Structure 1
């Protein structure tokens, strides 16, 4: 059977830690990693509701955990892109590019449909017209060149400018394709990727503590009046996120890769919970 370009890339790209949840499987008398995350979230909710604003001091624990998660994300993305694009041939890279564009358009289509459905779920509010000085303020201008053109790759890494970093790494990986002695560079990059994966594993072990701190601070400091105003948005967002992340995206991934639906769901359950609580998908890219 002829393999698809995405399956070829899946076989050649090493993604250590993508089945992190399986390595944290339940042992004798010890809860699994997902169970510990759920316990941390529930304990954080109980702590925040019980102690209220006294949980403000714990915010630095959650911020530190998010920072540690982001620590190895962009370096790993850069190293992996350079190494795995560089080891491809020109023919396979063109096939992969064509298939990737189709998958990207499919994901964009799913996103637009979900946004339209979510927007129609909110009622129309008729309010009075009041003047505000914000109406005269000019909106901030997006620096598209700085966002996508890596004029200084190191500054792009420091600023977490993901599009610019991806453009630089793809360009360097494409340049590596035709080099005869590229293996001498690819092997050290693989070792560096493994080291970054090991660093990420150390940070991931702190996830239950980080989830507890983030949820406790949020539950303890949120204004009940403000919560009552946004509960419709939270309900709509939660339902849409649950349907997309548990049903639509795993089914799409299983349709274009050798993985089954349940394999995708088991591999993504921990980062999905973390991304939903943290509210920052970048922190969970290297889970």
Structure 2
């Protein structure tokens, strides 16, 4: 309620939430080290062999079924047409995973300092195994166990801050997340709810029925009290005693050698607890959800990487695994705040699944150790069919609400409702017909002198070059470049006459004195620099591709594109990127176009993709959300944007160069970039208004 009432004013709560998250994470890596070494090191060789023979096989069976089920749900998020403004992290090269560095602890101290959890886990496992044969290990094991318990106590102290931390995180989220984003968060709740439900009540219990003679209803009866307790308390540990008691009672009441089975169960269940459970695995759904949420859904291959790496990360703590995975797939770290806030609901469901996981592990492992394990193929095939039908049916059931939640609002107003920041009555902007300057240059007068004498700066522009110069929803010429010359005119104390041009006529119009300078995302090329003066760059842009959403995966790597047979790539005529595209894709057919609008509007052309500035591409996808921006390039390909100066007027060039340098120094260029390209501080961007501000005064 606090966040809803305060709206954007709830932003300060983020700092308090960050402090809470940091305190929750501070004990995680030390706990991994002490707990794993202590739990493995205390085993004797017989227990280790028993664990290897029985526990690992059982664990892998359960993990395989849980992973396959979770993977089905992770890949079930519906296609999402999402468009947003440019962000530099969205055009960075696809991440390459250094598997050696990730998993091999060649320098354990470096792995610890870099929070490389998989490498830390592997080091601790080997260290623990190395302790098993040592007679003098007692003191070290005692130290490890004491340290682990101490960290649990420290964590318990931090947990006491949970109400305050959750309050801050939830207040910030509910106040600053837009209603549309809240709707998409419901998709995560729906997905993890369905996934944990089918795993807890169908998949895992049926595994027990497939490999033992224990009935399905018995599994549910044994787990009932533990599941309820775990959901209420939000802790798997709180349900373990109830689980152990119910398991021992079942064995003693229903099996002839029940006492022996009960003794094995009493040993196996505590041994299984330090290892990841299926509930931890479902937390990986949040990473898939995050990628879908921000419009960068993971490919199937990336999904496999997620589950492979995530399996090792879960030997640590979920609170450390999620930030690591978000960073690994270049997803916003702010999503971790949503993960914490969602834990009030999703975390309890995952804990309940974890409780069922430990029960199923105990029942199957005990059956293996006591000779009651038997693969009943007929029942297994029948249960596999039931599992498959349950998963497919549940996915079909939640499909409609997921599609509804993935619907996107009209994003065109985000760019088309913008107005210039620096346009003023003292320096008005007026579009005039193309034609020579009515005041011709005479004698030794240069253009700068004519501009000051006449009080008018004539600027050439293209009207459909988003976001640099274009007509907004009110029919006014706006854009970053238009704003830039409006600011220049203000400081020169002159008005602006805007003269339209096309790429094919720009050079001739400049020679015919139609305008003093030209704008609209002009990039530097050698040919252009030979024909006209070019100012100092005011912006550096990045080459990227605009592709139809349904073909995004086809164009995400250079190698895949070069394997295609003569793809048609549209490129802006005269762009510096034209030569770069030819070098990157030598077998492609290059189609030159005069404006990006041709790519979207010419339905007769057979363009596959458009190669253009990523900064411009993201703005175009706001108008055409059925397209996406991808960066297939291993190395960044950049180009400078400049102002073209007519007549090789050195005085005008020097003035504009000096002015651009000053605008860079005082932050005005950055301000324009943030507004027009990154979409910050936009009047048209819907923000959460405080509820109190909506009440009548």
**Is TM more than 0.5 here?**
yes
Matched, 1:51 2:14: no
Larger relative contact order (CA 8 Å, sep ≥ 6): 1
Partner SS, residue 51 of structure 2: helix
Secondary structure at the counterpart of residue 88 of structure 1: coil
CA apart distance, 1:58: 0.7
- CA contact 1:56–1:220 (8 Å) conserved in 2: yes
Question: d(CA) in 2 for partners of 1:164 and 1:265?
Answer: 36
Work out which of the residue numbers 96, 103, 111 in structure 1 matches 2:67: 111
Map residues 82-97 of structure 1 onto 2, 5 A cutoff. Answer: 82-97=37-52
Q: Which residue of 1 aligns with 2:126?
A: 171
Q: Give, in whole Å, the separation in 2 of the partners of 1:194 and 1:232.
A: 37
Deviation for aligned residue 1:101: 4.0
Asked whether 1:151 is paired with 2:82, we answer: no
Q: Is the 8 A contact 1:70 1:283 kept in 2?
A: yes
Aligned equivalents of 1:77 and 1:246: distance in 2? 26
Residue of structure 2 in register with 1:283 after alignment:
319
2:225 — aligned with what? 262
Asked if the contact 1:118/1:236 (under 8 Å) is kept, the reply is: no
Q: Evaluate the alpha carbon distance shift between residue 180 and residue 211 of structure 1 in structure 2; reply closer, same or farther with a 3 A threshold.
A: same
The CA deviation at 1:169 is 0.7
Q: Given the alignment, which residue of 156, 163, 188 partners 1:234? A: 188
Deviations 1:93-131 (A, max 9, x none): 1221341343234223223223324644x555689xxxx
Query: Where does residue 16 of structure 1 map in the other structure?
Result: none
- Contact kept, 8 Å, 1:250 with 1:264, in 2: the verdict is no
CA shift digits 1:152-186 (9 cap, x unpaired) = 22222232222111111111111111111111211
> Would the alpha carbon gap of residues 125 and 49 (structure 1) be closer, same or farther in structure 2, given more than 3 Å must change?
closer
Aligned match of 2:30:
75
The 1:202–1:226 alpha-carbon spacing in structure 2 relative to 1, beyond 3 Å, is closer
Structure 1 pair 87–126 and aligned structure 2 pair: CA distance change class (3 A): closer
1:90, distance to aligned residue in structure 2 (A): 1.6
Tell whether 2:279 aligns with 1:243: no
Are residue 139 (structure 1) and residue 111 (structure 2) matched? no
Residue 234 of structure 2 aligns to a residue whose secondary structure is helix
Task: Give 1:66 shift.
Answer: 1.0
> Paired residues, what number?
229
SS at match of 2:24: helix
Structure 1 residue matching 2:128: 3-state secondary structure: helix
Give the greater-gyration-radius structure (CA): 2
Q: 1:248/1:63 Cα in 2 relative to 1: closer, same or farther (>3 Å)?
A: farther
Deviates more, 1:90-99 or 1:65-74: 90-99
Q: Give unmatched runs, 5+ long, in structure 2.
A: 83-87, 213-221, 237-281, 288-316, 322-350, 352-697
- Residue matched to 2:524: none
Aligned to 2:260: none
Per-residue deviation, 1:78? 0.9
Change over 3 Å in CA distance of 1:246–1:214 after alignment to 2: farther
Q: Confirm or deny: 8 A CA contact 1:118 1:240 kept in the other structure.
A: no
1: CA distance, partners of 2:91 / 2:48? 49
Aligned partners of 1:215 and 1:86: how far apart in 2?
Answer: 41
Q: Distance in 1 between matches of 2:43 and 2:65?
A: 28
The structure-2 alpha-carbon separation of the partners of 1:72 and 1:185, relative to structure 1 and needing over 3 Å to count, comes to same
Deviation at 1:282, TM superposition (A): 2.4
Q: Answer whether contact 1:59 1:213 (CA < 8 A) is retained.
A: yes
* Greater fraction of residues in strand: 2
Pair 1:241–1:48, CA change in 2 (3 A): farther
Normalised to the residue count of structure 1, the TM-score between the two structures is 0.66
Which of the pair is proportionally richer in helix?
1
Change (3 A) 1:203 1:74: same
Q: Distance in 2 between matches of 1:55 and 1:176?
A: 51
Q: CA deviation at 1:245?
A: 8.0
Aligned to 2:301: none
Deviations 1:17-44 (CA, angstroms, capped at 9, x unpaired): xxxxxxxxxxxxxxxxxxxxxxxxxxxx
SS in structure 1 at match of 2:106: coil
Match of 2:403?
A: none
Structure 1 vs Structure 2 CA RMSD: 3.8
Question: Cα distance 1:184–1:202, how it changes in 2: closer, same or farther (>3 A)?
Answer: same
Summarize deviations over 1:161-217 as a string: whole Å, max 9, x none. 221111111111111111111112112222212211111111011111111111111
CA contact (8 A) 2:6 2:175 kept: yes
CA distance in 1, matches of 2:95, 2:61: 28
Pair 169,126 (structure 1): closer, same or farther in 2 beyond 3 Å: closer
Aligned counterpart in structure 1 of residue 158 of structure 2, from 181, 203, 227: 203
CA contact (8 A) 1:59 1:217 kept: yes
Contact 2:70 2:195 (C-alpha < 8 Å) held by counterparts? no
Distance 1:205 1:227, change over 3 A: closer
Verify the 8 A CA contact 1:271 1:284 in the aligned structure 2: no
Instruction: Work out the CA distance in 2 between the residues paired with 1:185 and 1:226.
Output: 50
